[in-house]
Amino acid sequence: MGNSEYILEMRNIRKTFGELVANDNVNLKVRKGTVHSIIGENGAGKSTLMNILTDIHKADSGDILLNGEKVHFKNSLDAARRGIGMIYQEFMLYRDLSVFDNIILGFEKKKWGFIIDRKACRKEIERICSEYSFNIPLDAIVKDLSVAMLQQVEIVKVLYRGADIIIMDEPTSVLTPQGIQGLFRAIRNLVGMGKTIIFISHKLKEVLEISDYITIMNHGRVVAEVLPNEVDEAKLASLMVGRDVILQANKVEPKIGDVLLSVKGLTVKDKDEIVRVKNVDFEIHSGEILGIAGVAGSGQQWIVEALFGLRRPEHGSQIIFDGKDITYVSPREHRLDGIGYVPQDRMGSGVNAKSSLWENSIMGYHIAHGFKNKYLVDTKQANEFTDEIVEQFDVRRQANKDKVAALSGGNIQKMVVGREFLQRNKLLIIEDPTRGIDVGAIEFIWQKIIDLAQEGVAVLLISHELNEVMQLSDTIKVIYNGQLYDGGRHGELTEEEIGLIMLGGNADAK
């Protein structure tokens, strides 16, 4: 063991992907027992740097030192065994295994040295969950869970496995406020036990709350190191993107047209016959942005799946779109009818990470919109469309033939949003449109949403960011326990009032 002041040092790390320099002589020094945040624009190189630390990527050059001693990991497992744990931005879970098996995999507790003691494992996981208020269904299969749930599973997994240095790459992007506080309690506890946390987030308020040190990256380089008490949110944002960020939507008088979507008596059960959406009614007019606020897991996911034809509503439910009964039609037909969808789970249902950008740009649409010249996909047209998305939505990529997996998390999000926004849809169903987007680009996406509504598009916005719903929506609804409550018109209720309904504090407001 060396006796360095730093538990971790990364020295002159350089990593290129072809022509692109993702990490350009990065230096990072992390003190033991602290929370060290890394922030920066989408594509700045944060995840790449952490992937080098966990040996998912090999650096072109540079050194990693643990406690002052140079280390060379053989592979990711080797890094994990040396005490480096990571919560990944795009979850690393086995979709067909249970939550429980995902958590213990490779880190099983043994009886008599060789028999897996599932009981002991379960007890330990349950202890972690109750101590930090995480509520995850241990026996559920991962592919059946929402993103908010998966995020909790990833956190519990890393806590269970224990590590000296725990990297959290955007762990809170869809957590509930309680989930965030639970995570922060866990972080403080871990730090109290001498563990070290590397925290990556686009939510600057959280960064200021939890960090001891903050490193700011831009275009692959470290551009500043600050202490939380010498900056505020505005200062951090401007250090990150090089200009002032206001984060205020430019809301204009809506041009409300006819009713485009009418939902009556919508009831949805999950596969265990549990009612997730109860008798929900609402209407959206063309030109209107209707926002649904709510704590994750209140039933949003099931409303959206029913609307987009991914889940069968119960008998008696009725969904009318543009005069047509679409209660039981397929997602493909929804696309043909002019309904766009930005899912919360961009990797699961938003894109195919192993396909190229241009293939993804027309995914789900090639039949609907003439991208197909009878037998062949028109690659020229698809490439032009990809260029349009890239240009308008500032997607940082090298070439259209690159795989989506080569984009940073925020850039994948911009790609999905761009694809749906540029298709001339009549109705857009958008879930957490700015998930993982840096503060500099959020305003831009908000503006696009407002512009589309001005052109007559009806927008159903479902977001876990109350601020986002309040700033953008003409009409606000609140979902609590599978039911919709009235949240007033734009600006009618305060954040506190809506927050109260979100927590079930106004059950007769309907």
Among 8, 10, 13, 22, binds ligand ATP (CB under 6 A): 22
Alpha-carbon 2 to chain mean position? 38
Cα separations (Å) of 275 from 267, 279, 314, 378? 7, 10, 10, 44
Gyration radius of the chain's alpha carbons = 23
Length in residues, the chain:
510
Is residue 46 a contact residue for ligand ATP (CB under 6 A)? yes
Is residue 406 a contact residue for ligand ATP (CB under 6 A)? yes
Q: Which structure tokens are listed for 133?
A: 């208020």
Among 369, 396, 426, 448, binds ligand ATP (CB under 6 A): 396
Closer residue to ligand ATP in complex, CB, 102/408: 408
CA neighbor of 23 nearest in space, from 68, 55, 54, 62: 62
Q: How far is the CB of 346 from Mg ion (least distance, A)?
A: 13
Can you state the angle between helices 233-241 and 439-454, rounded to 10 degrees? 90
Q: With contacts defined by CB under 6 A, name the span among 171-179, 231-239, 274-282, 407-415 that binds ligand ATP.
A: 407-415
Closer residue to ligand ATP in complex, CB, 408/471: 408
Is residue 410 a contact residue for ligand ATP (CB under 6 A)? yes
Is residue 45 a contact residue for Mg ion (CB under 5 A)? no
Residue with tokens 């730093």: 6
Residue least distant from ligand ATP (Cβ): 410
Q: How far is the CB of 501 from Mg ion (least distance, A)?
A: 34
Closer residue to Mg ion in complex, CB, 47/463: 47
CA neighbor of 482 nearest in space, from 326, 345, 250, 298: 298
Q: Which one of Mg ion, ligand ATP, none interacts with residue 411, CB within 5 to 8 A by kind? A: ligand ATP
Name residues whose C-beta falls within 8 Å of residue 253's C-beta, 6 or more positions apart in sequence: none
Inter-residue contact 384 to 414 (CB < 8 Å) = no
Q: How far is the CB of 45 from Mg ion (least distance, A)?
A: 9
Q: With contacts defined by CB under 6 A, name the span among 251-259, 272-280, 286-294, 405-413 that binds ligand ATP.
A: 405-413
Gap between the Cα atoms of 254 and 382, Å rounded: 33
Q: How far is the CB of 473 from ligand ATP (least distance, A)?
A: 26
Q: How far is the CB of 465 from ligand ATP (least distance, A)?
A: 16
φ, ψ at 381 (rounded to 5°): -65, -40
Is residue 463 a contact residue for ligand ATP (CB under 6 A)? no
Q: Which structure tokens are listed for 50?
A: 């952490």
Among 171, 182, 409, 440, binds Mg ion (CB under 5 A): 409
Q: Which structure tokens are listed for 78?
A: 């080797």
Q: Is the dihedral of CA 45, 46, 52, 56 positive or negative?
A: negative
Alpha-carbon 72 to chain mean position? 32
Is residue 411 a contact residue for ligand ATP (CB under 6 A)? yes
Q: With contacts defined by CB under 6 A, name the span among 41-49, 150-158, 446-454, 475-483 that binds ligand ATP.
A: 41-49
What residues from 74 to 133 belong to the interface with ligand ATP (CB under 6 A)?
A: 89
Is residue 47 a contact residue for Mg ion (CB under 5 A)? yes
Q: Beginning with the edge strand found earlier in the chain, give each strand of the sheet holding 69-71 in spatial order.
A: 20-31, 6-17, 61-66, 69-71
What residues from 67 to 96 belong to the interface with Mg ion (CB under 5 A)?
A: 89
Q: With CB under 5 A as the rule, give the number of residues binding Mg ion.
A: 4
Closer residue to ligand ATP in complex, CB, 42/301: 42
The separation between the first and the last C-alpha atoms of the chain, rounded to the nearest angstrom, is 63
Q: With CB under 6 A as the rule, give the number of residues binding ligand ATP.
A: 20
Is residue 56 a contact residue for ligand ATP (CB under 6 A)? no
Closer residue to ligand ATP in complex, CB, 340/436: 436
Among 54, 102, 408, 434, binds ligand ATP (CB under 6 A): 408
Q: Which structure tokens are listed for 194?
A: 């001498």
Is residue 407 a contact residue for ligand ATP (CB under 6 A)? yes
Is residue 414 a contact residue for ligand ATP (CB under 6 A)? no
3-state secondary structure of 306: helix
Alpha-carbon 80 to chain mean position? 24
Q: How far is the CB of 440 from ligand ATP (least distance, A)?
A: 11
Q: How far is the CB of 204 from Mg ion (least distance, A)?
A: 16
289-301 burial, b at 16+ Cβ within 10 Å, e below that, comes to: bbbbbbbbbbbbb
Residue with tokens 């202490």: 227
Contact residues for Mg ion, defined by CB under 5 A? 47, 89, 408-409
Contact residues for ligand ATP, defined by CB under 6 A? 17, 20, 22, 40, 42-48, 89, 396, 406-411, 438
